Amino acid sequence: MTITATTPETGVLLAHADELVEKAAAGLLPGAPVALGVHVPSVTGYVRRVEVGGRPLFAKLSFLGVSLVSALRGACGTWDAVRAAQAVYTATPGALLEREAAQLGLLASAGLRAAHVVGYGGGVLFTEPVEGPTLGDLVAAEPHRTAELMTGVRRELALLQRPDIVGRVEGMAIRERSIDATFGRKFNGISGTTYLAQSPEHAPVLTEVVARLRRLRLTPAERRQVSFGDLKPEHAVFPDGPGGRPVFLDPGLSLTHPCADTAKLVSRMILGLIPRPPTVAQAAATLSGIGAFVDTATGGLSPEARAAWLRHLVVLWLMDTTNILTTYLTAPPGLPLPERATRPPSGGPGRCAHSWTGPRPPWRRARTRVPSGGSPCPTRRRPGDDRPDVGGGDRSRGGRPHRRNPADRVRLVRPRTDRLRQ
């Protein structure tokens, strides 16, 4: 992935994308006038507003099923090779956006609200616009409702676990959008080292982060379930406000670990605090709400299952944060980036990356309600004992339960051996 004279140029690739969108739009409604609208910045697919016969639509195009950053960095070869391969790719059944179109229909079949598909052709997916605040917008406006809003989204997605829906997902799965698949694709061997070298200023820190994450082993889930797959806050839109049901965009359904959607949403909700810095009180309310959301997600699990679930979540969370951070840092000049990617944290991206790999990275700093032996322990009550649960069963402080800050609900502890490496 070294930039050369034959690597796709940003302007050339985007201009070609416009040609493909315009051609596909003309085929959507033959004879109707087509007007290209504004380009929607993205590092994954090419998205543009269009009007076809006066009807406003979103047009979405994927180059070879990879991100725009990967294509522009030469991951798929020279520009001539990309153009030739794209023509074959869009003509082949089962292309990424063809599956996404099918998944949007499946969401509606499950009883969810989803963006309406107008058509798919020439490798371009056309959907009706969905206007309204996103989940991220609502949380930023009302951080004290973080848990309620996030849990509401999770409750909606529970409709995907219907047996008839589960049985249909496998044939249209978009496994490549999952966190661990993305991480493995980006940082696989020599290509991963070359990829990180595209950001020379931050490569040393990022290389250490990736190396640590590659050493962690994800234990396969005993029970897989349908995951939305790309559950970013901006992919849940509330046209009717916070009291209404969300409309879901850009699915990446697949069968995977039950914590996958929670990990993605937690990762992106926390990263969302960077471009729009909240006050201390707002940040505390948001983080407390995220903790309550995770508590709800694990409420029915046994102590052992909950510990394993949380370990898996933490690893996926770190992988997702690393995935998107490295994508932004290696984006080539001239590629329009989303607003949330253009305001790095104080101290620069290197500090953000180093927070995951310094002397006390999150998986070592995190704590949980567990005894010193390292296994979660629920509160044990004697019959007739109606005392409030103030310590979550943790009697590690001299045998007495200690009161926890309500804002610190979900906590992990580093056991005496680093179990994440097992």
Question: Running along the chain, 422 residues long, what does each successive block of 10 average in pLDDT?
Answer: 66 96 94 96 95 97 93 91 94 95 98 98 97 97 98 97 95 94 87 85 91 86 91 97 97 96 97 90 96 95 94 96 93 87 51 44 39 35 38 34 38 36 36
- Are the C-beta atoms of 115 and 248 separated by less than 8 Å? yes
- Put simply, whether the predicted model's pTM sits higher than 0.85 gets the answer no
Q: Distances in Å between the alpha carbon of 238 and those of 106, 138, 272, 291?
A: 20, 9, 18, 23
- Model confidence over 152-175: pLDDT tens digits? 999 999 999 999 999 999 999 999
Determine what percent of the chain falls in helix, strand and coil, rounding each to the nearest 5: 45, 10, 45
**The residue type at 387:** R
160 vs 149: CA distance, rounded Å? 18
Pairing of strands 225-227, 124-127: unpaired
Question: What domains sit in the chain, N to C, each tagged with a CATH number?
Answer: 1-129 (3.30.200.20), 131-352 (3.90.1200.10)
Q: Tell me the HSE value of 407 on the side-chain side, using a 13 A CA sphere.
A: 10
Q: Counting Cβ atoms within 10 Å, is residue 303 exposed (0-12), middle (13-18) or buried (19+)?
A: middle
Of 341, 2, 337, nearest to 195 (Cα)? Answer: 2
254 vs 261: CA distance, rounded Å? 11
Q: What is the pLDDT of residue 342?
A: 59
Q: What is the pLDDT of residue 408?
A: 38
| E strand map for 163-264 | 225-227, 236-237, 247-248, 254-256
